[in-house]
Amino acid sequence: MGVSLNGKAVAENLRNEIRKSIEVKKANGEKVPCMANILVGNDGGSLHYVNNQNKVCADLGIEVKSIYLDEKITEEEITKVICDLNNDNNINGIILQLPLPKHLDEAKITSLISFEKDIDGLNTVSVGKLYKGEKCFIPCTPRGIIELIKSTGEKIEGKHAVVIGRSNIVGKPVAQLLLNENATVTICHSRTDNLKEICSKADILVAAIGKPGFVTEEFVKENAIVIDVGTTAVNGKLAGDVCFDRVIEKASFVTPVPGGVGAMTTTMLLKNLCEGIE
Ligand code: NAP
């Protein structure tokens, strides 16, 4: 029987470290990091995320400037808001909540954020730098996944890691980060032949699919570390991609949903903000 890998506890430890580093900065009279979070329109999920970020920032002593924009804002207007924040020396990191209203081009607008302030690590320059091994902000969910794997105390180097999913926000960056940690990485997707067989050879299995309960014990090697990124609303509750109760019988560690990967996201964002990239 494996262990449930508690993202809340790992996140809490990281937050304590951040809190201490802020206290030291304050005691030394140094500037405290300041994040700008931008919300366009009234998306309920995004509003919840902004409120949560603001609560955690207040708890850790981090400054935050929330910018609420009308959902009818033009591309020209939002471009000006982002450029002003890029040029504002008081702002260390910018996060633009997605999704944006349909008339705005998400890829274009997110790439307006200067990479030095792109604490979400998702704009084109940040992604390019990540793949070239240059300094940049690491996207929050993939970074949280690596932190969770490291929290087990198991080595990543030399292990066979299989990632199911090849999205730009989870699958591809987490595969790149595992490669940077010297794992041997296989990326699987909806066209992969023999998926179950490939997964069952993984020492580390990351499921980022969005299909509740897709990964059963037959996909899992004895004593593997299994990271469940999936979050799908089912009957008002969040469901992961992994059949937790069955998989934990075979794996060494499994992340629960909720309370696993998702519990790390805001903390990783603020860790990015506080560390900077210089
Ligand atoms: P996505 O863009 O929809 O990508 C899903 C990936 O799964 C695609 O690459 C797809 O393959 C693959 N896939 C779909 N069906 C498959 C199948 N039957 N066999 C193998 N691969 C299959 O989703 P995403 O944005 O990466 O998110 C994935 C999940 O993670 C979602 O549930 C999302 O809500 C969740 N998520 C959670 C967090 C968090 O903080 N916990 C953060 C981000 C995302 P193709 O490329 O071939 O279509």
Closest protein CA for atom 19 of ligand 1: 190
Residue type, 17: E
Ligand 1 pocket member 191 (CB < 6 A): yes
What average pLDDT does range 135-150 have in this prediction? Answer: 97
Q: Which residue's alpha carbon is at the smallest distance from atom 4 of ligand 1?
A: 167
| Token pair 């929050």 in the structure block, residue | 140
- Give me Rg for the CA atoms of the chain: 19
Residue of 146, 167, 194, 195 with the most ligand 1 atoms within 8 Å of its CB, for mutation: 167
Enter the pTM of the model: 0.95
Q: How many CB atoms lie within 10 A of CB 235?
A: 5
Q: Is the CB of 198 under 6 A from ligand 1?
A: no
Q: State the Cα–Cα distance between residues 268 and 15, nearest whole angstrom.
A: 9
Band (278; pLDDT cuts 50, 70, 90): low
pLDDT of residue 45: 87
Domains in the chain and their CATH numbers?
29-114 (3.40.50.10860), 140-263 (3.40.50.720)
* pLDDT tens track for 63-94: 999 999 999 999 999 999 999 999 999 999 99
Tell me which residue has its CA closest to atom 47 in ligand 1. 190
Is the pLDDT at 277 greater than 80, yes or no? no
Q: What's the mean pLDDT in 108-131?
A: 95
Which residues, at least 6 apart from 172, have a Cβ–Cβ distance to it below 8 Å? 166, 187
pLDDT in tens, 217-249: 999 999 999 999 999 999 999 999 999 999 999
**Residue 110 is labelled as binding a ligand:** no
170 pLDDT more than 80:
yes
What per-residue confidence (pLDDT) applies to 125?
Answer: 95
What whole-number distance in Å separates Cα of residue 96 and Cα of residue 117? 11
Whether 166 has a binding-site annotation, put simply, is: yes
191 is in an annotated binding site: no
Q: Is the CB of 73 under 6 A from ligand 1?
A: no
The Cα 249–Cα 254 span in angstroms is 10
